[in-house]
Amino acid sequence: MTEMVYEANYFETEGYNPNTQRLINRPFIFFTLSECIEMLEMENLTIIRKIATSGFSELLQKQIDNMSDLSYERYIDWHLAHCDKEELLGASNHYLFVCKIK
C-alpha cells in the first residue's frame, strides 16, 4: 500500500503483478510476514519476538514530518506500544525478528 502514497494508479504500473498481487522485486526483494517466518524456521531458529519496525510511518510520513514535538513523542510512544501486536505486523514494510537457535 505504501506505493499508493506516491502513485495513485500503482496497481496499473509495471511494478505490480496483478496475478500474484505482489510488487516486482526491484530494486528490493519483497517478502510477506509468513514468508519471513518460514525462512527463519527453516534455518532452525525459534522466533522470540516479531517487531514491525516501520509500522505505519511510511504511509504517514508527511503527517509525521509536520508533527509538533509533543505529537511526535506521542506517536513514537504509540508505535512502541503497538509494534509487536500480531494484528498490526502486516502493515509494516520492515520487520525485526528476535530469535534463538533451536
Number of domains in the chain: 1
Q: Is residue 11 situated within a structural domain?
A: no
Q: Is residue 72 situated within a structural domain?
A: yes
Q: Is residue 8 situated within a structural domain?
A: no
The predicted model scores a pTM of 0.81
Q: Is residue 16 situated within a structural domain?
A: no
In this predicted structure, the answer to whether residue 29 has a pLDDT above a threshold of 90 is: no
**Could you tell me the residue range of the domain that residue 40 belongs to?**
31-101
A 10 A CB-CB count for 56 gives 21
Write the Ramachandran bin of 48: left for phi over 0, alpha for psi from -120 to 50, otherwise beta. alpha
- Asked if residue 27 has a cis previous peptide bond (ω within 30° of 0), the answer is yes
Reported as a single tens digit per residue, the pLDDT across 45-100 is: 999 999 999 999 999 999 999 999 999 999 999 999 999 999 999 999 999 999 99
Q: Is residue 91 situated within a structural domain?
A: yes
